[in-house]
Amino acid sequence: FALHRYAWPACLLVTLPWFLHRRVPRVPVADVAFQRVRGRMAVRTGSFACLPDDPAAGHPDARVVPDEEALRAEVRAAVAEHLGPVLEGFAPRMRRGRRALWGMATDEIVEGLWYVAHLLGEEDRAMAELELLLPGTTGPYVGAAGFRELTGPDGAPLATRDRASCCLYYTLRPDDTCVTCPRTCDADRVGKLTANV
C-alpha cells in the first residue's frame, strides 16, 4: 500500500487545482518530499498551465493553453511526468507490469478526486470532468474513469465504477473487497454503498 499512500495525494497535487481553479501545476518528482511515517508531502511549486481568461494568465510561471481539452492534456502530462519515475521505482518490488501500474495510476487519479469532490458537494461535476479527462484512450493511462449507476434498495441512484487495476485491499481483509473492485458483484456493491447511509 506504499504506492497508494504516495500516489493518491500526489495525483491530487495536480487534479485538485485543475478541478477547483482550472490551473494545472507541473510537479516533477524531484520537487516533492514525502514523509512516509506521517504521510506528509512538501512541494516546491513552479510552472502551471491555465486558460487564457485566468486572472493569473500573465504570471511569469503561467503557461497559457487555448482550451479545456488542452488543459486536460496538461493534467494527464503532469501526472505522468510525476508518477512515471515513481512507477518505475516500484515496478521491480511489486511484480506488476507496466499496464497494471498505469492502471493503478488511472485509479488513483479518478478515485482521489472523486472522493474529495464528494466531500465538497461536487461529486456529479467531478464525475463528468473525470470522464472527459480519462475517456479510455489516453496513454499511458489504462482504462476510463468508467462511472456507472446502480439502483439502491430505495430506488436512489448510486454512483460506482470498476477499477482498472486491483488495489490489493483483499490482502488485508481476505473476506472483503473494495467497493470498486471489478470482482465485486453489483448486489454486494449496493450493500456496501448503502451500509453506512
Q: Could you tell me the residue ranges of all domains in the chain?
A: 2-130, 146-197
Cell of 98: 507496466
pLDDT value for 182: 79
pLDDT value for 175: 73
- Residue 43 near residue 35 (C-beta atoms within 8 A): no
pLDDT value for 197: 61
Range among 27-31, 119-123, 173-177 with highest mean pLDDT value:
119-123
CA distance 18 to 25: 8
Range among 38-47, 62-71, 142-151 with highest mean pLDDT value:
62-71
pLDDT value for 1: 58
pLDDT band at residue 54, thresholds of 50, 70 and 90?
Answer: very high
Of 103, 87, 98, the C-alpha closest to 29 is 87
Least confident of 28-37, 112-121, 134-143: 28-37
Cβ neighbourhood burial of 29 (10 Å; 0-12, 13-18, 19+): middle
The answer on pLDDT for 94 being more than 80 is no
Mean pLDDT of the chain: 90
CA distance 74 to 82: 12
| Model confidence pLDDT, tens digit, residues 133-168 | 999 999 999 989 999 999 999 999 999 998 888 766
- Residue 75 near residue 24 (C-beta atoms within 8 A): yes
Range among 31-35, 127-131, 183-187 with highest mean pLDDT value:
127-131
Residues whose CB is less than 8 angstroms from the CB of residue 143 and which lie 6 or more positions away in sequence, other chains included: 103, 106, 134, 136, 164
The answer on pLDDT for 118 being more than 90 is yes
pLDDT value for 176: 74
Least confident of 24-28, 31-35, 59-63: 31-35
- Helices marked H in the chain: 2-21, 68-94, 98-119, 123-133, 186-194
> pTM for the full model?
0.90
CA distance 157 to 106: 24
Q: How many helices, marked H, and strands, marked E, lie in the chain?
A: 5, 7
The answer on pLDDT for 71 being more than 90 is yes
The answer on pLDDT for 4 being more than 90 is no
CA distance 172 to 162: 20
